[in-house]
């Protein structure tokens, strides 16, 4: 049985109260208007949420990844879109916290903990799964790096304070692309948001292009060593981003469960509550079971990360399962509600759009399965 600590349950209560008061009332509106409530991000910073796993010496709460998952799940219960903004933020924070020099941590982490949005920019128009195929470049000119190129589908693209971004910086001795990671402040000259995408789901965070037009960076902006971009970006996605996305999908799963129970109790058909019908009970049972399975997989995976144990396979399993289950649960809950399921006064059709959109975010279900199978086959 999964048991969170008293302190973790207390945190959940605090987050839930914040979400009930600040996010639930506007969740529908931010979806309809396709906007991101950036002002809430600052309020969350005041509660210590934005740097939840960052050590106190850098302005964080000094907690862990389980606490991060709690914050994302609770946020995702009402707005998976805003929760994805948090996931992307945490990726930027994690990359700097894990691979940054002390100077970089001192400079960027306090601002990220206190209201500045972070992000991780990897994907390019040539394909997100093909990491080595990226074409953005970083060239050494004197001692500075000059970056050019275009990133796409980047969450927090239009509100980013600190961006961790990968670019091609040459070739290694075997002729393979050398990819490096950089830290760029959002307002650096030549670092510009481009097109803002109109997403089907996960509205509530911005996702769009980042255009790099001769962005000039000093040596202090290189994250890690030249050529460590794959380690940094794939490590961040694999051990942090996907755990966060699983937690956002878990929020959707809980939303489906709670909405299905509520509707089945309230809807009167044949003079009785809908919940009396066996097939309706089957839907509730499936929603409950899949929420529970997603919860166990997700908190087990982030718990391994907290315990500094290998967790890439477990995090991929959690992300794969929770995202796919959220799609199925949203579809089932729409079925349970009849026509009301597709009426946008109810949130469930949004849950379906949100759930489908979690599948490509931080790596597709195909890629998750390749990672999981690879882990098994290597044993």
Footprint of ligand FAD on this chain (CB under 6 A)?
Answer: 84, 88, 119-123, 127-130, 153-155, 199, 202, 207, 357, 360-364, 366-367, 370
Rounded distance, CA 281 to CA 264, Å?
Answer: 9
Min dist. Cβ of residue 184 to ligand FAD (A): 14
CA dist 179 and 87 (Å) reads 23
> Between residues 77 and 353, which has the closer beta carbon with respect to ligand FAD?
353
Least separation in angstroms between CB 286 and ligand FAD: 26
Nearest distance from C-beta of residue 86 to ligand FAD, angstroms: 11
**Which lies closer to ligand FAD via its Cβ, residue 127 or residue 310?**
127
DSSP string, 302-347: HHHHHTT---HHHHHHHHHHHHHHHHHHHHHHHHHTGGGGGSTTSS
Specify the residue, 121 or 136, whose C-beta has the smaller distance to ligand FAD.
121
Backbone angles phi, psi at 84, to 5 degrees: -65, -30
Residue nearer to ligand FAD on the CB measure, 237 or 311: 237
- The answer to whether residues 259 and 347 touch, using CB atoms and an 8 Å cutoff, is yes
CB of 20 to ligand FAD, least distance (A): 25
C-alpha to C-alpha distance for 28 and 105, rounded to whole angstroms: 37
| β-strand partners of 166 | 181
Quick one: 128 or 224, whose CB is closer to ligand FAD? 128
Considering beta carbons, is residue 274 or 361 the nearer one to ligand FAD?
361
State how far the Cα of 352 lies from the Cα of 323, in Å rounded to an integer.
11
Q: Which residue is nearest to ligand FAD (CB)?
A: 128
Produce one character per residue of 285-321: b if its CB has 16 or more CB atoms within 10 Å, e if not.
ebbbebbeebbebbbbbbbbbbeeeebbbbbbbbbbb
Distance (Å, whole) CA 157 – CA 198: 13
Residue 88 or 284 with smaller CB distance to ligand FAD: 88
94's CB contacts (< 8 A; 6+ apart) are 53, 236, 239, 240
> In whole angstroms, how close is the CB of 364 to ligand FAD at the nearest point?
3
Q: CA 18 to CA 25: how far, in whole Å?
A: 11
Strand partners, 217: 145
- Rounded least distance, CB 81 to ligand FAD, Å: 8
Minimum Å distance from CB 164 to ligand FAD? 10
The least distance separating ligand FAD from the CB of residue 195, rounded to whole angstroms, comes to: 14
Q: Are 351 and 252 in contact (CB under 8 A)?
A: yes
The residue (of 252 and 336) whose beta carbon lies closer to ligand FAD is 252
Assign residue 4 a region (left: φ > 0; alpha: ψ between -120 and 50; beta: otherwise).
Answer: beta
Q: How far is the CB of 8 from ligand FAD (least distance, A)?
A: 27
Whichever of 161 and 363 has its CB closer to ligand FAD, that residue is 363
């Amino acid at each position: 049985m999964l048991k969170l600590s008293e302190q973790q349950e207390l945190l959940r209560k605090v987050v839930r109260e914040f979400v009930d008061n600040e996010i639930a009332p506007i969740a529908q509106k931010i979806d309809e208007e396709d906007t991101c409530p950036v002002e809430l991000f600052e309020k969350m910073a005041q509660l210590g949420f934005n740097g939840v796993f960052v050590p106190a010496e850098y302005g964080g709460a000094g907690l862990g990844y389980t606490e991060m998952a709690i914050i994302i799940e609770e946020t995702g219960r009402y707005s998976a879109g805003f929760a994805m903004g948090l996931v992307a933020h945490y990726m930027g924070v994690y990359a700097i916290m894990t691979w940054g020099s002390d100077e970089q941590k001192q400079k960027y982490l306090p601002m990220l903990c206190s209201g500045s949005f972070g992000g991780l920019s990897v994907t390019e128009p040539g394909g997100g799964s093909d990491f080595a195929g990226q074409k953005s470049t970083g060239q050494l000119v004197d001692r500075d790096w000059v970056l050019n190129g275009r990133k796409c589908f980047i969450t927090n693209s239009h509100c980013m304070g600190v961006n961790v971004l990968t670019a091609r910086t040459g070739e290694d001795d075997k002729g393979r692309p050398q990819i490096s990671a950089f830290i760029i402040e959002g307002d650096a000259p030549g670092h510009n948001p481009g097109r803002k995408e109109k997403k089907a789901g996960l509205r509530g965070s911005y996702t769009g292009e980042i255009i790099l037009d001769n962005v000039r960076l000093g040596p202090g902006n290189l994250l890690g060593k030249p050529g460590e971009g794959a380690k940094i970006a794939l490590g961040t996605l694999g051990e942090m981003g996907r755990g966060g996305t699983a937690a956002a999908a878990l929020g959707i799963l809980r939303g489906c469960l709670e909405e299905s129970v509520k509707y089945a109790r309230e809807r009167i058909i044949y003079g009785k509550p809908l919940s009396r019908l066996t097939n309706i009970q089957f839907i509730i049972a499936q929603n409950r079971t899949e929420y529970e399975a997603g919860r166990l997989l997700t908190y087990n995976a982030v718990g391994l990360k907290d315990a500094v144990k290998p967790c890439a396979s477990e995090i991929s399993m959690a992300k794969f399962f929770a995202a796919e289950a959220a799609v199925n649960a949203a579809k089932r809950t729409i079925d349970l509600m009849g026509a009301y399921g597709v009426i946008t006064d109810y949130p469930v059709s949004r849950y379906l759009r949100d759930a489908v959109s979690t599948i490509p975010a931080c790596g597709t279900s195909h890629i998750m399965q390749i990672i999981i199978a690879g882990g098994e086959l290597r044993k």
